[in-house]
Structure 1
Amino acid sequence: MKGPERTRIARLWKREVLSHRGWQRHALFLLAAIAIGIVAWYFQIAEREGDHWFSFLKGETALWDGGWSVPEPLATFLPMIWVTLSMLLIVTLRDRYFRGTEGTGIPQTIATLKTTDSAIRDRMLSGRILVGKILLLTIGLFSGMTLGREGPSVHVGAALMHMITKWVRFPRHLVRRGLILGGGGAGIAAAFNAPLAGLVFSFEEIARSFEKNNVGTVIRSIIISSVFIVLILGKDYLFYGRIESTDANWTVGQWASIFVIGVMGGFLGGAFAQVTIKGSAFARRCMKWNRWVTPLALGAGLGVLGYLSNGESYGSGYQQTQQILRGGVEYPWYFAPLTAAASFLTLASGIPGGLFDPSLTVGAGLGQAMLPLINMLSPGLQPEAVIMMFMVAYFAGVVQSPITCAIIMVEMTAARHMTLPLLGVAVISYECSRLVCRTSLYESLANTFLAGLGEQAETKSRLTDQPSATPLK
């Protein structure tokens, strides 16, 4: 070993292993990764309790055994009023106290990697954003909004990892990218107990490139947060439960169903993404026009959709998806489009909340509705296989992250024998989606977010540069 190489290794050991500051970095990193797991666990509890609360409002259950339940017709209209007023409350709190918590949080995380302005990065990954994201998502989970919790988990994870850089010095490449990627990936991994999907998502969607110098940091953060979730929920925990399905002994005609499902899911998902991009821009203009009427109108829209769907479009859709996958409940054909419409209104409003769960639910509803057609074209396919392929196809069409979509479904169901079909529909869906929506949903929202920050800075600069009026004598 040459002299310069020995010197470099010695400095590395001194900086990372033998120094007090090095151990401080490792300890803070460990605590931040564990905190990401704790927040993801809390979101899961909040979602479960929120569903129970909303079931009470709908008159389906009592708050406690033997307790009073909401009677009809109050059980029909109370959820509609609740979701409408909750929308106004969340939007008001967001705009007054927690600017920067808008939407899923994934676009903001992507935006912090795109910008070179450290002040913007600090503002978007601050303690205020952390508190606001947790608080407003909790209200959303108890209000019946059609939203998920994965996007806020990503934003909170990135914020936690970035905040530790204010207490101890980290290498520049970790401050600018590595820790943010690690926190975002850990958020996905902990939310779904899907470490591989979290790893892939951090590079495929957040970074949009593979970064060798940051991969170790990303893997460590994902492992720590995932181990915490496993210790709490058990090593056998699966998000949707174990689904027995396989591609063994498929005929050529059955393999051809991958193309059909991928095309359908890709175009539908891409259309949803494009409409959401346009609709979000329109909703922002309406918010500037009136910050009372617009959220009330969006909330009332969610209430009407809930009424039309017999209450099934309220919430994340997690329970409905489980029931569809397990074949326990058959939903009407309009379940998927009404849930997609509710997800659109929620995303357009810009309240904190994710789209993973609702998108997977829409895909499951599409799969169940299209089962007769797929069985006619490709007889003999298991219903679970068809539904999972539709879930991945629609989801990949919406977010345009095909590898993540396939891997996360395998990890959530332990259906490893479906890996090839799921990857196939994801890639076909991705290509079809790009024909409808050229810029992915998250990237488009990230660019819009950065453009909005630039407009705010220009406005502030103009106001600062204006000469103050001199009083007349």
Structure 2
Amino acid sequence: MAAAITLGSGASLGPEGPAVELGMNLSRWVSRSIMAPNQPNARLLLACGAAAGVAAGFAAPLAGVFFALEIVQANLSALDQTAAPRPTTTTTPPLTATRNTGAILVSSVVAALVCHALLGHHAVLHLPTYVMSATPLLELPVMVGMGVVSGGVAFVFQQAIATSRSLFQRKWGRLSIPKLAQPVVGGLISGLLGVAFPAIMFGGWSTLNALLANQAMPTTGLLTLLAVKLGATAVAAGSGLVGGTFAPSLFLGGMVGAAYANLLGLVSSRWVVSLPAYTLVGAATVLAAVFGAPLTASLLVLELTQHNAVGGAILPLLASCGVASGVCHALQAKQAARKALATSTTIAS
């Protein structure tokens, strides 16, 4: 109910967060009700629930499978490593074993089929044409450069959400925002930003579809939407409103890609720049960097567009997503090292 109210009111969040949480909670309930506690299959059920959530949220079963294997698996493995070791008599097969991968695939496909039967089937992103450069080897380093920019934007996005959450929970002297009032304040700020910039409301799909239809926008307008959407999403997520950041990440990436294409056109008039191509790849790169999941992001944009021609750009798409994810991870590691150094210096003094 909270997610329906949040998303239905136009808050700058996406549907995949509640869908994944609902799927994992349902899987956890099944695990506790039917299976014995701490049974190895509980991890598999959580992954199946997460995959089903992404598949239902975006009608993207393949992206759901890779989300479970690329993100959920890593998080569950990290939890297993930090937990106290328990004596076992049998060896637990890895999550990527054939049996487990098949179960994740089935749950993802079933979720997408049920969503299709109930809500219909249509492409979220409409891509009339998709044209890359006649020389892919020349296009590849340019796309990689966009990946570097997208990685930086993703890092700023993550920090903005963390800062927003900290500000909402912070005590200002004797004053503080009550926990129950935090979503109200966040919704008010998001609503005011939405009134001033209607394009940032909901998922922002209409703006992305306009760019994919080769409807150019000025660079200043793109950068303004990028900044406002980033701020609105950070406020919404930090205040406790219920929603995900998949869809906002796609929007931010689309703005980055379109602005990057405009700047390339200014650098050289001989360079043939495809606005739809850079918008689509940009959307994937920021998503890949935010979640550290280049394969999931690449497959998601392919499934969202349902355009066969996009498959021809899979190499620059994967390369750009990989670079963006690496840049964001490097910035995170550098910041963590800086915080650790500051903490040790404070303790020593």
Q: Check 1:161–1:146 CA distance in 2 against 1; reply closer, same or farther (3 A cut).
A: same
Larger Rg: 1
Q: TM-score scaled to structure 1, two decimals?
A: 0.59
For 1:55, the equivalent position in structure 2 comes to none
Return the alpha-carbon distance in structure 2 between the equivalents of residues 167 and 397 of structure 1: 37
Q: Relative contact order (C-alpha < 8 Å, sep 6+): which is higher?
A: 2
Paired residue for 1:393?
285
Aligned-residue offset at 1:231:
3.6
Q: How does 1:302-451 map onto structure 2 within 5 Å?
A: 302-309=190-197, 311-328=198-215, 330=217, 332-333=221-222, 334-376=224-266, 379-414=271-306, 415-438=310-333
Aligned amino acid, residue 384 of structure 1: P
Counterpart for residue 5 of structure 2: 139
Distance 1:286 1:223 in 2: 46
Deviates more, 1:344-353 or 1:283-292: 283-292
Cα distance in 1 between the residues matched to 2:233 and 2:129: 29
Give me the whole-angstrom Cα distance separating, in 2, the residues matched to 1:215 and 1:233: 27
Q: 1:163-182: CA deviations, max 9, x gaps?
A: 2335533792122x011110
Gaps of 5+ in 2: 78-93, 336-349
Residue 160 of structure 1 aligns with an amino acid whose one-letter code is L
Q: What SS class does the counterpart of residue 313 from structure 2 fall into?
A: helix
Matched, 1:240 2:130: no
1:151 aligned partner: 17
Q: Which residues in structure 2 correspond to 1:34-433 (within 5 Å)?
A: 135-169=1-35, 172-175=39-42, 177-208=43-74, 211=95, 212=97, 214-232=100-118, 237-247=122-132, 249-286=134-171, 289-291=176-178, 294-309=182-197, 311-328=198-215, 330=217, 332-333=221-222, 334-376=224-266, 379-414=271-306, 415-433=310-328
SS in 2 for 1:312: helix
1:351 and 1:370 mapped to 2: Cα distance?
A: 31
Change (3 A) 1:150 1:294: closer
Give the direction of change, closer, same or farther, for the CA distance of 1:429–1:214 in structure 2 (3 Å limit): same
How far residue 140 of structure 1 moved from its aligned partner, in angstroms, is 0.7
1:283 shift after superposition? 2.1
Distance 1:283 1:217 in 2: 40
Counterparts in 2 of 1:234 and 1:387: CA distance versus 1, 3 Å:
same
Deviation at 1:438, TM superposition (A): 3.2
Distance 1:203 1:247 in 2: 30
Tell me, in whole angstroms, the C-alpha distance in 2 between the residues paired with 1:438 and 1:279: 21
Count of residues in Structure 1 that have an aligned counterpart in Structure 2: 303
What is the letter of the counterpart of residue 313 of structure 1? I
Give the Cα separation in 2 of the matches to 1:259 and 1:245.
19
Shift of residue 239, structure 1, vs aligned partner: 2.3
Aligned to 1:162, what secondary structure does the other structure show? helix
Cα gap change, 1:432 to 1:167, in 2 (>3 Å): closer
Whole-Å separation in 2 of the counterparts to 1:426 and 1:276: 21
Deviates more, 1:313-322 or 1:190-199: 313-322
* Percent of aligned pairs sharing the same letter: 23
How far residue 243 of structure 1 moved from its aligned partner, in angstroms, is: 4.8
